[in-house]
Amino acid sequence: MVKTPKFSTSPAGIEHCQFSIDHQSMQNEAGMNRQAFVRIQVVATSELSQLTRELIVGSNIKVTGFINRHESRNGNPLLVLHAQQIEMIN
């Protein structure tokens, strides 16, 4: 995790947590190794939002979920990972 979690509550009373993670790996593409790197915003809701209160910057975590399109405040499209499971990695 690379960004401190930010917490908010929707008008419907659902708790949300937003934070960013980095992913780095070596991938094979067309028979060649390629370094893959991405920083992506994560949104966790409800009970997963409660779990994120224990996270600190630098934590190694595994996040599974789905990617959805959001719009930034200035109207730019963003890809956001909606967490369905968060697991601490030692």
How confident is the model over 8-56, as pLDDT tens digits? 888 999 888 899 999 999 999 999 999 999 999 999 988 777 677 778 8
- Predicted confidence at residue 26, as pLDDT, reads 96
Res 1 pLDDT > 80: no
What topology does CATH give the domain 6-88?
A: OB fold (Dihydrolipoamide Acetyltransferase, E2P) (2.40.50)
Question: CA-CA distance, 17 to 88, in Å (whole number)?
Answer: 16
Question: CA-CA distance, 78 to 59, in Å (whole number)?
Answer: 24
Res 3 pLDDT > 80: no
Question: CA-CA distance, 54 to 52, in Å (whole number)?
Answer: 5
Higher pLDDT, 30 or 88: 30
- Predicted confidence at residue 53, as pLDDT, reads 78
